[in-house]
Amino acid sequence: MKVLICDKTENEYIEQMRAAGLTVDVQDTITPEDLFKVLPDYDGMVVRSRTKVRKDLIDVCPNLKVILRGGAGLDTIDHEYAKTKGIAVMNTPLANSASVAELTIGYMLMMARSLYQATASIKAEKWDKKSFNGDEIGGKTLGLIGVGNIGKEVAKRADVMGMTVIAYDPYVKEIAGIQLVTLDELLAQADYISLHLPKTKETSNMISTEQFNKMKNGVRIVNCARGGIIDDNALYEALVSGKVAGAALDVFAEEPPTDWKLVKLENVIAAPHIGASTKEAQARVGAEVADKLIAFAQK
């Protein structure tokens, strides 16, 4: 089987695939234009979040048998369409979970203690201790919207830190140690809200003005899931008005954003989609990619 690696993958696992008999070519900076020219010669492809696999690309690849996404989400792939063409679509849903969960907790702590603002202040050679009187997250209520693999890992860590964890997930009927509630109940009770669900037609802009109005005054929000689940304009207004005390954004509807006004607010911290960017997660992704492609090739 001939495989094209379109995004960064650990070399150890590329060699593992080659040792198993796969022909593996690496073009991990390939442009969308060049991908249309090159991919028709391949049976399989490995992508991360950078490379998008849409219908028009699938249509010019008659030999394509498998698309493997290193990561949890499939929103960058027209996966249902690919399946109608007989193409297997796989991902690595567990590999990133711990890394994204730790980042989520880190964002919560940063907001609770104004660590971004305090660091900026002291780098400016100011000793403004009185401006940074923060909060403990212990004793607060964390509302998880989505309790898949990542949401469960966040819940474990939040519980250890003394938080009460509630969750809304229409696809989960029961989960140990977490009280499942309606979305409206979560919005009304949570001091912190963290999103851990895929971007779909149903979840697009599911957190907008109506939902912000139902939240506690001074709520803090973390989004390490997908951009576009929160309505950016509504979030901006909620942050400016003080309804939302702070937001931590790791993902954006457009990456990179074309409108930077949201992230320039003083009460917003943000990063360029780094949830899975740890050495450990990259190694787990590479290992799972290799295992799944080798197993697929040997069927």
Which of 69, 196, 273, 284 is the catalytic position? 273
C-alpha to C-alpha distance for 150 and 141, rounded to whole angstroms? 18
Which of 79, 196, 226, 284 is the catalytic position? 226
C-alpha to C-alpha distance for 108 and 247, rounded to whole angstroms? 9
Which of 15, 136, 210, 255 is the catalytic position? 255
Active-site residue 255, yes or no? yes
C-alpha to C-alpha distance for 171 and 173, rounded to whole angstroms? 7
Tokens at 246, concatenated = 């702070």
Q: 177-206 b/e with 16+ CB inside 10 Å = b?
A: ebebbebeebbebbbbbbbbbebeeebeeb
Active-site residue 226, yes or no? yes
Tokens at 56, concatenated = 């028009």
Q: How far is CA 244 from CA 134, 153, 154, 202, in A?
A: 16, 25, 21, 23
Catalytic positions, please?
A: 226, 255, 273
